[in-house]
């Protein structure tokens, strides 16, 4: 543990000791009865004194080794004290169970009063606490809202007692001691619990002179294979241990106090708990050459250009861990000439830890004005002055290294001035390590910056080590170098750190030592990767430091499930209950979210992982960092690190395969560390005899996790000390010995049990229950003794047929092929406490108490309806958050799901009578057919409140119903209860709301208030479904704020109408009309109010649909931004109108001003002219697809158009109005064989031009005017190459062209190529008109392209010879040859020396074989099989 964390560690241990001694008061009472009260009180007092003295240290142990050693000694003594009081609590629990007869009387029985027994507290604020034995004499009759008891009735005298959770036990005890109850009971007084010193376990210790001995277990451990359950204890031994710890704490406390007096209050370190790091300042200047960020840089620059006309501020975030190159990437963008030319002002602000609006405003003002403004401290005044400088200017603002997750008010106040005036295209680029900053501030997708690719990283590494990226490294140094960069994870700062160390001596010995010691991980380096990461770590509160550093014991890239890591943290006591209203698991998830937000963990969504679940991982350098800062308490034992484990290690993982190569060293290390261990994780293969010594001596284990294969014997579970164990996870492969069930009965503190076995699992015969007629059934009889057990997970236990579980928070049963029954020892307690229920692949499971007896909870109120006190019954599974039942074909579940509003995740599939349900209560629910449900495929169904508990999905945002062919209707009343629903998808439901709708739907609609359903709906998507126009019209009436309407493949719609007047009635179409068979099935009515809310309309595959309205058509949709009409020729015909009285007159389509994108297909008229209301338009993108009848397209009104695409219009001959397209940036004209000419004179903003398969096109008028053109593709248009060749003889064409894609070598001429000084990419495709090689003139022209970096030959079937002088290209980085099967070899003079990547795809065998031999330098060769 670092010196800076010692004080926090001591504070944490003090609180842990208080928690045990003060928990419920039951341990205090037991200690008094045991005669140890005075000793414990002196210990408690000394612990308080230690806490007070240590709180005065205030960071002064940093750099003061004697003081640090004293604090470390206090920490060790406190560990011993915590272990000791935990042992006492274990003895208390054991004695209590013995007094109760070894069992908890909480089986599922209903007593004479009809009440279900509840024996455990179900408070959600922490792990369920053990109830006193007093509760066994009462029946719980009323529960509070949080699941705790309120009233109980005495079994003996029938008296009703108030018993709230906070004071219930004392009240019950008092009642049982009363004379009236004693008389009726005729039993001994409950308070006669026996002398605590009777039947006491004896303690075997090695002495009390050392901390390790004091932390030894105070119970005599049974030998492996023993069956005794009796523990004895020695009161005097415990008393001596307590006194010894107290005495040693007193002495060291005095030493610390004296040291603080010597240091005095003026010590320079006294003012800070943490090491203060200077404010990191950066500048806009790029330092040295940058490697491998071209793609990210290009993406950002493209985004900047694409948002130059945006009226809003665009915020782009660059996200990544420290040292990965976020600042460098921002510097590259900031200094790029093409970026500089686009902005009036470029501003660089280094933000770092504190987001100070005044400082940032002052620094922005310094950039945009000539003077300095150090004396100006008024934020309002700064903003006022600043506004005058940037008004109507385009600004690029870089906010580098943002740590502070500032609130919205701060952000909006600071950057309001960027939104004022007429400024357009303002960009804010933020670099940050925190995902929440990126998520909250970014307006576009963030740039997630990861490590460099191996090939680029190797070049950077050579530059850092040798100062020359082209240096040829050979032999052993190359092998060592490659091994080193594998450990650096592509991090540029790590490469610089390692490079500085390696270049001191370019020898094999020095590099080998660096590789072995990994010195680049040192925290002592002035500017290294680890100090950079530690800047973040030092800002963490101690509980997060503890949770993060602990995970270092797991392998690098180990993927945790959230619930898995949170369970571990809780079991080890890292998670504290800071909020009484929150459960420990909820607090633990907040810890995890904080660590993800700060970049210490990365979240991997299910779609990117091997499972569908979200996982969390510490990648590469972050895992290395965790191991560095936790090395005194956490360690991994493997072949490379046998010499590096501290004797103070508390948490150890053992990767067992390589350990057998160092058996003697391994045993020596274990002797030093085993007694201190609190966590032990075994991974790999192990020999049970070899690890027997660990289990015999590891007396303080809180966590044991085994994921391994047994080599010889089974794991000796009987040797595991049960005293402190909270977490047991056993995933092994071989046959278990019979001691596991017996051992489980002794783990009284156990909170989490996960067992996964393979075929051949068996238990000792004493743990089996033989039931007549049912064969052999196995049951965990001992689990009812595990009073603190919260999580049970059983996996792949093939011979288990019956499981009886106690009250739990999490129950997971996976792949239990013979499991038939799952029963509960207390149905009431399990019902109240269960949070997670997962049952997967249990094909024989038929009986589960919770599903069979859940109706009892609903009936209990009736049982007590004649009583004179109010009842407040707990509902069925009130706290359940996750419910998963998959592939259980015989398990009958209740149809009404979910059970309550608390269910955040639901997945039901492969169970009888139910549809497949998958979703999250706050996000998305998917409903689809269940092939194993056994539902009659001919029977229709209705989705209503008897199937889906709509009232419990109030927070649902999205509902998708797919391919439910027998579904006929959805309850409007139920939809009304989804008051947060924003997105509704209906796909492949052919009978849903079709013409033949049952009359009860009409009755329900008549009773549903107007506009109650779908009131928050923003998006409605219907595809391949049978919904009729009348029912869709009804749905649209309810969707008052709908933004997006998408209709795909719905040929039943024939007429589309917009209501012209606001209807005062709630129903545009009456309910009776909707259910009438003679109603307008094909008529779709859009309410008038939606004309002001709809932003997107997408209609496709409705060939019979026509617009039934006035000439305005869609122009009345005043908010419409995107319109797509595909394969709806009738609709388009009805929307356009003649501009004249003759048949061939121009066809005009009137559109709203707000429209930004239009896509149409199947347009049948010969002419089309777009026009807009008021002649104002913001249309930026227009696509015309597959309209074979269109001959003339007129675009005079499209003055804002930026993207135009015309595809497959076979008769299109003219495109008029091109002179109006001054803002056009991208033009694609494909498969238009009748088009002859394009007028491009006015298209000076054009950057991308693609002409393909336009056989008649012979002229691009004004091509010489396209000075900003960057991407040009001319393919299969034979009239254009001669035209361009002629034009290039008179003009310098395309001076800024970066990419050229052609299929005619005639364009490779000197007059054209000499002007292409910026060309970086050349693609030559299907060179059918050329010969087998390039002509001399073409080769000379090709060599003029000095900036060329990428060259591709694709489908060149005639080409036999590559360019002879291919080796002469100075900047070539990538060469691709695809499907050129007649090219036999590379040129004789080889390839360019700058080439980094060679791709050969579907080429000749000879060429492939030659390329396989190319291994020089940095060249990467990629070939398909």
What does the pLDDT read at residue 961?
95
Of the candidates 855, 561, 869, the one whose C-alpha atom is nearest the C-alpha of residue 729 is 561
Torsion of CA 57, 62, 66, 72, to 10 degrees: 70
Q: Residue 1164's Cα: distance from chain center in Å?
A: 48
Residue 591's SS3 state is helix
**Cα gap 685→705, rounded to integer Å:** 13
What does the pLDDT read at residue 695?
79
> How is residue 997 written in tokens?
């709708």
Contact 969, 943 (CB under 8 A): yes
Residue 699's SS3 state is coil
Contact 1396, 1372 (CB under 8 A): no
Task: Tell me the average confidence (pLDDT) per consecutive run of 10 residues in the chain, 1425 residues long.
Answer: 78 89 76 89 92 88 87 92 93 82 40 30 35 65 58 81 70 81 59 36 34 38 40 80 94 90 62 46 78 88 85 88 88 90 90 82 86 75 86 89 78 81 83 84 87 85 86 84 82 84 85 77 67 80 92 87 92 82 87 87 67 79 86 78 74 72 68 85 73 80 82 64 90 56 80 71 30 37 75 84 87 90 84 90 90 58 40 67 91 76 86 86 88 59 82 90 89 86 94 66 49 83 93 89 95 89 46 45 90 95 91 89 95 83 70 94 93 87 95 93 96 94 95 95 94 95 93 94 91 92 91 91 86 89 93 92 92 93 92 90 92 76 85
> How is residue 473 written in tokens?
């490294």
What does the pLDDT read at residue 761?
37
**Cα gap 533→536, rounded to integer Å:** 6
Q: Which residue matches tokens 């079994």?
A: 155
On the CB side of 192, CA atoms within 13 Å amount to 5
**Cα gap 249→43, rounded to integer Å:** 9
Alpha helices in 641-751 (DSSP H): 663-673, 692-697, 740-744
**Cα gap 1354→1364, rounded to integer Å:** 18
Tell me 783's DSSP state.
Answer: G
Count Cβ atoms within 10 A of the Cβ of residue 1318 and give its class: 0-12 exposed, 13-18 middle, 19 or more buried: middle
**Cα gap 386→372, rounded to integer Å:** 12
Contact 98, 135 (CB under 8 A): no
**Cα gap 818→798, rounded to integer Å:** 6
Q: In what order do the strands lie in the sheet with 602-604?
A: 559-561, 615-617, 602-604
**Total count of residues recorded for the chain:** 1425
Q: Please, which residues have CB within 8 angstroms of residue 1391's CB and are 6 or more apart in sequence?
A: 1366, 1367, 1372, 1375, 1398, 1414, 1419
**Cα gap 680→1108, rounded to integer Å:** 75
Alpha helices in 2-155 (DSSP H): 6-22, 26-34, 37-55, 65-99
What does the pLDDT read at residue 348?
92
For residue 362, count other CB atoms closer than 10 A to its CB.
Answer: 20
Of the candidates 861, 854, 858, the one whose C-alpha atom is nearest the C-alpha of residue 883 is 854
What does the pLDDT read at residue 1269?
95
**Cα gap 124→715, rounded to integer Å:** 35
Query: Does 1253 sit behind a cis peptide bond, omega within 30 degrees of 0 on the bond before it?
Result: no
Tell me 275's DSSP state.
Answer: P
Rounded to 5 degrees, φ, ψ at 537 are -60, -40
> How is residue 526 written in tokens?
């002035």
Rounded to 5 degrees, φ, ψ at 596 are -65, -45
Region of 536 (left: φ > 0; alpha: ψ -120 to 50; beta: rest) is alpha
Residue 469's SS3 state is coil
> How is residue 1363 written in tokens?
């360019």
Residue 1096's SS3 state is strand
Q: Which residue matches tokens 């497949």?
A: 916
Contact 802, 91 (CB under 8 A): no
**Cα gap 1257→210, rounded to integer Å:** 94
Contact 1408, 1400 (CB under 8 A): yes
Of the candidates 708, 578, 746, the one whose C-alpha atom is nearest the C-alpha of residue 93 is 746
Count Cβ atoms within 10 A of the Cβ of residue 178 and give its class: 0-12 exposed, 13-18 middle, 19 or more buried: middle
**Cα gap 922→403, rounded to integer Å:** 29
Contact 32, 589 (CB under 8 A): no
> Terminus-to-terminus CA distance in the chain, angstroms?
52
Q: Which residue matches tokens 């047994």?
A: 710
Question: Strand (E) positions, 353-506?
Answer: 395-402, 427-432, 447-448
Give 162's strand partners. 151
Beta strand pairing call for 905-909 and 916-920: antiparallel
CB environment 1283-1301: b (16+ within 10 A), e (fewer): bbbebbeeeebbeebbbbb
**Cα gap 1354→1357, rounded to integer Å:** 9
Rounded to 5 degrees, φ, ψ at 4 are -65, -20
Region of 1299 (left: φ > 0; alpha: ψ -120 to 50; beta: rest) is beta
> How is residue 1143 written in tokens?
């048949």
What does the pLDDT read at residue 971?
85
Contact 1402, 1424 (CB under 8 A): yes
Residue 1406's SS3 state is helix
Q: Dump the DSSP string for 1124-1160.
A: EEES-HHHHHHH-EESSSSTTSPEEEEE-TT--EEEE
For residue 1330, count other CB atoms closer than 10 A to its CB.
Answer: 18
Q: Please, which residues have CB within 8 angstroms of residue 32's CB and are 6 or more apart in sequence?
A: none
Contact 644, 637 (CB under 8 A): no
**Cα gap 97→93, rounded to integer Å:** 6
**Cα gap 320→331, rounded to integer Å:** 15
Region of 612 (left: φ > 0; alpha: ψ -120 to 50; beta: rest) is alpha
> How is residue 148 written in tokens?
């705790």
Q: What is the CA radius of gyration of the chain?
A: 38
For residue 443, count other CB atoms closer than 10 A to its CB.
Answer: 13
**Cα gap 777→799, rounded to integer Å:** 8
> How is residue 38 written in tokens?
């005075």
Stated pTM of the model: 0.73
């Amino acid at each position: 543990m670092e010196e800076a964390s010692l004080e926090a560690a001591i504070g944490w241990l003090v609180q842990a000791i208080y928690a045990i001694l003060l928990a419920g008061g039951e341990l205090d009472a037991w200690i008094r009865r045991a005669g140890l009260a005075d000793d414990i009180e002196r210990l408690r007092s000394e612990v308080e004194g230690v806490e007070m003295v240590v709180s005065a240290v205030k960071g002064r142990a940093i750099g003061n080794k004697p003081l640090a050693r004293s604090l470390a000694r206090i920490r060790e003594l406190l560990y011993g004290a915590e272990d000791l009081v935990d042992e006492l609590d274990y003895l208390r629990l054991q004695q209590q169970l013995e007094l109760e007869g070894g069992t908890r009387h909480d089986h599922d029985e209903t007593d004479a009063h009809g009440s279900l027994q509840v024996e455990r507290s179900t408070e959600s604020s922490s792990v369920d606490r053990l109830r006193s034995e007093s509760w066994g004499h009462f029946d719980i009759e009323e529960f509070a809202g949080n699941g705790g008891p309120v009233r109980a009735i005495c079994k003996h005298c029938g008296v009703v007692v108030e018993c709230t959770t906070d004071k219930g036990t004392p009240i019950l005890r008092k009642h049982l001691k009363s004379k009236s109850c004693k008389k009726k009971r005729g039993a001994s007084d409950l308070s006669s619990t026996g002398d605590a010193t009777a039947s006491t376990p004896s303690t075997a210790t090695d002495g009390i002179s050392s901390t390790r001995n004091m932390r030894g277990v105070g119970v005599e451990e049974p030998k492996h294979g023993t069956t005794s359950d009796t523990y004895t204890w020695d009161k005097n031994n415990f008393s001596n241990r307590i006194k010894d710890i107290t005495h040693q704490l007193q002495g060291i406390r005095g030493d610390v106090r004296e040291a603080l007096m010597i240091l005095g209050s003026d010590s320079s370190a006294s003012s800070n708990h943490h090491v203060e790091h200077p404010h990191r300042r950066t500048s806009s200047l790029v330092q040295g050459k940058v490697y491998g960020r071209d793609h990210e840089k290009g993406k950002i620059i493209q985004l900047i250009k694409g948002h130059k006309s945006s009226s809003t501020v665009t915020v782009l975030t660059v996200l990544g861990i420290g040292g990965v190159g976020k600042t460098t990437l921002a510097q590259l963008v900031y200094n790029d000439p093409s970026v500089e030319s686009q902005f009036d002002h470029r501003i660089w602000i280094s933000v770092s830890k504190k987001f100070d609006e005044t400082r940032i405003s002052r620094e922005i003002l310094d950039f945009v004005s000539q003077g300095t403004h150090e004396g100006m401290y008024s934020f309002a005044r700064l903003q006022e002055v600043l506004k005058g400088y940037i008004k109507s200017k385009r600004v690029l603002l870089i906010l580098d290294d943002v740590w502070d997750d500032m609130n919205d008010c701060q952000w909006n106040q600071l950057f309001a001035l960027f939104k004022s005036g007429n400024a357009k295209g303002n960009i804010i680029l933020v670099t940050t390590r925190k995902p929440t900053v990126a998520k909250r501030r970014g307006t576009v997708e963030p740039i997630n910056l990861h490590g460099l690719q191996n090939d680029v990283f190797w070049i950077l590494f050579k530059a850092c080590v040798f100062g020359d990226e082209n240096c040829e490294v050979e032999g052993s140094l190359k092998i060592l170098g490659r091994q080193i960069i594998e450990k650096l994870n592509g991090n540029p700062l790590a490469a610089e750190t390692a490079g500085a160390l390696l270049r001191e001596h370019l020898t094999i010995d020095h590099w080998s030592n660096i590789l072995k010691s990994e010195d680049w991980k040192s925290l002592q380096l002035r500017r290294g990767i680890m100090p950079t990461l530690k800047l973040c770590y030092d800002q963490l509160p101690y509980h997060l430091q503890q949770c993060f550093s602990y995970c270092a014991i797991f392998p690098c890239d180990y993927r945790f499930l959230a619930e898995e890591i949170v369970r571990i943290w809780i079991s080890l006591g890292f998670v504290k209950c800071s909020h009484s209203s929150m459960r420990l698991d909820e607090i633990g998830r907040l810890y995890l979210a904080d660590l993800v937000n700060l970049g210490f963990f990365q979240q991997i969504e299910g779609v990117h992982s091997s499972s569908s679940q979200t996982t969390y991982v510490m990648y590469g350098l972050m895992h290395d960092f965790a191991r560095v800062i936790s090395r005194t308490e956490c360690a991994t034992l493997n072949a490379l690190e046998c010499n590096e484990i501290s004797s103070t290690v508390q948490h150890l993982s053992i990767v067992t395969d390589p350990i057998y190569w160092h058996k003697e060293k391994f045993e020596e290390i274990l002797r030093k560390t085993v007694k201190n261990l609190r966590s032990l994780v075994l991974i790999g293969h192990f020999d049970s005899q070899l690890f027997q010594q660990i289990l015999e001596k590891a007396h303080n284990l809180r966590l044991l996790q085994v994921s391994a294969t047994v080599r010889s014997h089974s794991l000796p579970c009987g040797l595991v000390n049960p005293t402190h164990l909270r977490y047991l996870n056993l995933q092994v492969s071989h046959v278990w010995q019979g001691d596991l069930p017996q051992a489980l009965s002794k783990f009284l503190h156990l909170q989490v049990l996960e067992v996964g076995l393979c075929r051949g699992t068996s238990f000792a015969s004493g743990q089996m229950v033989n039931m007549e007629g049912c064969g052999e059934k196995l049951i965990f009889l001992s689990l009812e003794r595990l009073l603190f057990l919260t999580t049970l997970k059983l996996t792949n236990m093939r011979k288990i047929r019956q499981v009886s579980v106690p009250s739990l928070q999490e129950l997971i049963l996976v792949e239990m092929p013979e499991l038939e029954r799952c029963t509960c020892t207390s149905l009431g307690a399990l019902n109240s406490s269960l949070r997670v229920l997962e049952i997967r692949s249990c094909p024989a499971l038929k009986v589960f108490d919770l599903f069979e007896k859940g109706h009892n909870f609903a009936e209990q109120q009736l049982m007590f309806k004649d009583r004179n006190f109010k009842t407040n019954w707990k509902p069925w599974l009130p706290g359940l958050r996750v419910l998963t039942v998959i592939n259980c074909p015989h398990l009958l579940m209740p149809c009404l799901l979910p059970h309550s509003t608390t269910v955040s995740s639901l997945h039901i599939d492969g169970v009888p009578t139910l549809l497949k349900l998958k979703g999250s209560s706050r996000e998305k629910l998917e409903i689809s057919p269940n092939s194993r449900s056994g539902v009659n495929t001919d029977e229709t169904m209705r989705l209503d409140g008897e199937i889906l508990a709509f009232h419990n999905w109030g927070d649902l945002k999205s509902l998708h119903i797919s391919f439910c062919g027998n579904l006929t209707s959805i309850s409007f009343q139920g939809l009304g209860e989804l008051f947060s629903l924003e997105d509704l998808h209906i796909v492949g439901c052919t009978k849903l709301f079709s013409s033949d709708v049952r009359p009860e739907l009409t009755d329900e609609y008549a009773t549903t208030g107007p506009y109650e359903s779908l009131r928050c709906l923003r998006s409605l998507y219907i595809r391949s479904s049978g919904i009729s126009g009348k029912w869709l019209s009804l749905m649209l009436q309810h969707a008052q704020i709908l933004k997006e309407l998408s209709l795909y493949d719905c040929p039943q719609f024939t007429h589309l109408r917009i209501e012209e007047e606001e209807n005062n009635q709630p129903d545009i179409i009456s309910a009776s009309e909707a259910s009438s068979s003679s109603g307008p099935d094909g008529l779709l009515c859009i309410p008038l109010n939606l004309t002001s809310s709809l932003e997107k309309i997408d209609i496709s595959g409705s060939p019979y649909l026509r617009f039934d309205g006035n000439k305005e058509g869609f122009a009345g949709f005043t908010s419409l931004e995107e319109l797509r009409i595909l394969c709806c020729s009738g609709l388009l015909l009805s929307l356009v109108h003649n501009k004249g009285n003759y048949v061939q007159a121009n066809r005009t389509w009137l559109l709203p001003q707000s429209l930004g994108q239009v896509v149409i297909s199947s347009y049948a008229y010969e002419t089309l002219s777009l026009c807009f209301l008021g002649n104002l338009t913001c249309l930026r993108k227009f696509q015309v697809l597959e309209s074979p009848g269109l001959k003339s397209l007129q675009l005079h009104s499209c003055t804002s158009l930026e993207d135009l695409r015309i595809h497959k219009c076979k008769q299109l001959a003219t495109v008029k109005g091109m002179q109006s397209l001054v803002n056009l940036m991208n033009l694609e004209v494909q498969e238009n064989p009748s088009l002859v000419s394009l007028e491009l004179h006015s298209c000076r903003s054009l950057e991308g031009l693609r002409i393909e398969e336009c056989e008649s096109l012979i002229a691009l008028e004004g091509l010489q005017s396209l000075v900003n053109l960057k991407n040009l593709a001319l393919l299969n248009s034979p009239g254009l190459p001669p035209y361009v060749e002629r034009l290039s003889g008179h003009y310098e064409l395309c001076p800024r062209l970066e990419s050229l894609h052609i299929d005619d070598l005639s364009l490779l001429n000197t007059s054209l190529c000499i002007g292409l000084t910026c060309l970086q990419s050349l693609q030559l495709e299907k060179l059918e008109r050329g010969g087998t090689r390039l002509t001399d003139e073409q080769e000379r022209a090709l060599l003029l392209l000095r900036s060329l970096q990428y060259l591709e030959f694709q489908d060149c079937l005639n080409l036999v010879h590559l360019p002879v002088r291919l080796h002469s290209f100075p900047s070539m980085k990538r060469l691709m040859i695809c499907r050129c099967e007649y090219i036999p070899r590379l040129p004789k003079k080889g390839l360019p020396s700058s080439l980094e990547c060679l791709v050969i795809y579907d080429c000749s065998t000879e060429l492939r074989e030659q390329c396989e031999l190319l291994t020089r330098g940095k060249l990467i060769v990629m070939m398909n099989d």
